């Protein structure tokens, strides 16, 4: 442990968790200290779960937390680990082994890895990963000390090329193809991912010992899923984001419908009130009211689906889809340089990814060159669906407002906004870029409230203020 003992160490850990974007209040920090007095400090997993229980508030924070925990309470604090390393593993060499020996070692470890993966014992796999990093992960020793790289381990062992052998092993002679193979593939994917994660965790641990954990912590911690920029999201992030958007849409729908139901009560229901008063000796203690006739809110979504905002529009279309399941009055329009109604693709129960593909194929959103043309798109919308926006309609425009230096179509949009009950523009670009280059966002911002929605967290914020 570091100077200052356990409390100082815990304090450092709490601060690192805070820096990673997880809000930890003072009371949570106090609770964390209390946890240390209650759990068995020699059991690392107890400590991990115990601190998580007081420091975290959302499931999405767990991954970040685990990375930091491994750095702050590393395994090496337990002297038992080196002794547990496999007996049949070759003894570590002094310095860097020459190429032949390295290759032989890699082949041997590869066979070992195959056995472990087939076996599926996670703890054994983690132990093996630690050993593999030790044997294969060393880079050139530099004056600053020994460094370790996960790519060296993964290249030497190339676990991905083991898939076919693993499948054979798991299927146990059964035929390829069909259900059994798909299920086995999933198992293989999970185990390979677990191995890769174990290797990376071990490399992080060793680097932290070498270079100081603060530096490692800064680079190793990935942003939380709802902080990932829509426009820069990668495919792995996308899947994660999709999961977070689904409950968001449900939440929005729940809010809107709750407002509708809990609105002011209607006129007195005389008959019901008198009837209920019989129970209290003719005194009308509780009045009953007729339910108010509710106006169904209408929502018109106008969504830019050009390539530049593809990631963003995908989510907004998901939101549209979820709203469709709760409200009948939702109409969706998509545009690139022309506009088409896409409501029909979002029938309840339809798959969103599917719908997006079909929109690309079937909807008439491109007439010229496939670059955004907001002026023409708004024009076509106002002309062909003149009645879509009325005094009961909320209008939601989604896009980055990059017009490719074409006409922005401001008067048309201003007219649409005036005719609607409320209107918002959600822009996935950072606010400081609005108006730069071909962006007309600042001009649009003068006729319609423009809101920066760069990530799921901001989308959630918008949804809750609506």
Partner 1 sequence: MPPQQPALFADVADVTARLSAAGYLPDAQIATTVFLADRLGKPLLVEGPAGVGKTELAKALATATSSELIRLQCYEGLDEARALYEWNYKKQLLRIQASQNSADGGDWGDLHDDVFGEEFLLSRPLLTAIRRTEPTVLLIDETDKADVEVEGLLLEVLSDFQVTIPEIGTIVATRRPMVVLTSNATRELSEALKRRCLYLALDYPSAEREREIVLSRVPELAPALAEQLVRTVRALRAMELKKSPSISETLDWAQTLLALGLDTLGSDEVRQTLGVVLKHASDQTRAAAELRLN
Contact residue for partner 1 among 12, 18, 31, 231 (CB under 8 A): 31
Alpha-carbon distance of 92 to 107, in angstroms, equals: 15
Count CB neighbours of 186 within 10 A: 10
Alpha-carbon distance of 172 to 443, in angstroms, equals: 65
Residue (239 or 386) nearer to partner 1, CB: 239
Kindly list the strands in the beta sheet with 393-398, ordered across the sheet, starting from the edge strand earlier in the chain: 339-341, 330-335, 298-304, 393-398, 422-427, 450-452
By the rule CB under 8 A, 350 interacts with partner 1: yes
- For the chain, state the CA radius of gyration: 30
Helix axis angle for 5-19 and 26-38, nearest 10°, is 140
By the rule CB under 8 A, 28 interacts with partner 1: yes
Contact residue for partner 1 among 35, 302, 330, 447 (CB under 8 A): 35
Contact residue for partner 1 among 4, 6, 34, 139 (CB under 8 A): 34
| ∠ Cα 394 396 401 (to 5°) | 150
Cβ 45 to partner 1 shortest distance, Å: 5
Pairing of strands 298-304, 450-452: unpaired
Contact residue for partner 1 among 9, 11, 33, 46 (CB under 8 A): 46
Sole window of 3-11, 213-221, 343-351, 439-447 interacting with partner 1 (rule: CB under 8 A): 343-351
By the rule CB under 8 A, 227 interacts with partner 1: no
Tokens of 354: 């599917």
Cβ 160 to partner 1 shortest distance, Å: 17
Binding characters for partner 1, 149-188, by CB under 8 A (x = yes)? ----------------------------xxxxxxxxxxx-
Which residue is listed with tokens 């966002």?
441
Q: Contacts with partner 1 in 104-143 (CB under 8 A)?
A: 120, 122
Cβ 183 to partner 1 shortest distance, Å: 5
Question: Does residue 394 contact residue 423 with C-beta atoms inside 8 Å?
Answer: yes
Contact residue for partner 1 among 15, 62, 232, 418 (CB under 8 A): 62
Helix, coil or strand: residue 424: strand
By the rule CB under 8 A, 54 interacts with partner 1: yes
Binding characters for partner 1, 254-293, by CB under 8 A (x = yes)? x---x--xx----------------xxx-x-x--------
Closest CA to 102 of 163, 157, 160: 157
Cβ 312 to partner 1 shortest distance, Å: 19
Beta bridge partners of 422: 394
Question: Does residue 370 contact residue 395 with C-beta atoms inside 8 Å?
Answer: no
Tokens of 404: 């490719």
Count CB neighbours of 378 within 10 A: 24
Binding residues (CB under 8 A) for partner 1: these are 25, 27-28, 31, 34-35, 38-40, 43, 45-46, 49-50, 52-54, 56-59, 62, 120, 122, 177-187, 189-190, 239, 242, 247, 250-251, 254, 258, 261-262, 279-281, 283, 285, 349-351, 353, 460
């Amino acid at each position: 442990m570091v100077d200052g003992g356990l409390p100082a160490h815990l304090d450092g850990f709490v601060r690192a968790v805070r820096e990673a974007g997880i809000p930890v209040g003072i009371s949570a920090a106090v609770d964390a200290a209390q946890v240390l007095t209650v759990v068995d400090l020699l059991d690392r997993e107890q400590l991990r779960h115990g601190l998580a229980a007081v420091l975290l508030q959302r499931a999405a924070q767990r991954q970040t937390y685990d990375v930091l925990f491994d750095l702050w309470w590393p395994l090496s604090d337990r002297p038992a680990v080196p002794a547990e390393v496999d007996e049949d593993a070759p003894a570590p060499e002094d310095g860097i082994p020459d190429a032949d020996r390295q290759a032989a070692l890699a082949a041997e470890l590869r066979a070992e890895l195959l056995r472990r993966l087939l076996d599926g014992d996670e703890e054994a796999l983690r132990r093996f990963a630690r050993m593999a990093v030790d044997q294969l992960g060393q880079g050139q020793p530099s004056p600053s000390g020994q460094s370790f790289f996960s790519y060296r381990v993964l290249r030497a062992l190339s676990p991905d090329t083991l898939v076919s052998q693993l499948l054979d092993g798991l299927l146990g002679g059964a035929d390829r193809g069909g259900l059994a193979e798909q299920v086995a593939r999933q198992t293989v994917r999970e185990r390979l991912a677990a191995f890769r994660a174990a290797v990376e965790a071990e490399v992080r641990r060793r680097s932290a010992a070498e270079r100081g954990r603060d530096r490692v912590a800064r680079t190793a911690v990935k942003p939380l899923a709802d902080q990932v920029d829509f426009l820069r999201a990668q495919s792995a992030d996308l899947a994660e984001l999709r999961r977070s958007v689904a409950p968001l849409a449900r939440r929005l729908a729940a809010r809107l419908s709750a407002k509708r139901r809990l609105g002011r009560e209607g006129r007195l229901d005389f008959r019901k009130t008198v009837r209920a008063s019989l129970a209290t000796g003719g005194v009308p203690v509780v009045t009953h009211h007729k339910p108010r006739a509710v106006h169904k809110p209408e929502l018109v979504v106008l969504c830019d689906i050009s390539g530049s905002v593809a990631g963003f529009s995908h989510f907004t279309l998901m939101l549209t889809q979820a709203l469709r399941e709760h409200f009948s009055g939702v109409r969706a329009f998509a545009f690139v340089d022309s506009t088409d109604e896409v409501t029909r693709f979002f029938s309840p129960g339809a798959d969103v990814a599917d719908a997006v593909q079909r929109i690309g194929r079937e909807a008439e959103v491109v007439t010229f060159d496939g670059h955004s043309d907001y002026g023409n798109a708004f024009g076509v919308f106002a002309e062909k669906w003149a009645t879509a926006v009325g005094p009961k309609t909320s209008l939601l425009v989604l896009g980055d407002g990059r017009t490719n230096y074409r006409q922005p179509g401001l008067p048309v949009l201003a007219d649409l906004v005036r005719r609607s009950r409320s209107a918002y523009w959600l822009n996935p670009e950072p606010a400081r870029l609005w108006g730069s280059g071909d962006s007309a966002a600042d001009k649009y911002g003068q006729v319609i409230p423009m809101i920066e929605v760069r990530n799921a967290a901001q989308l959630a914020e918008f949804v809750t203020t609506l």
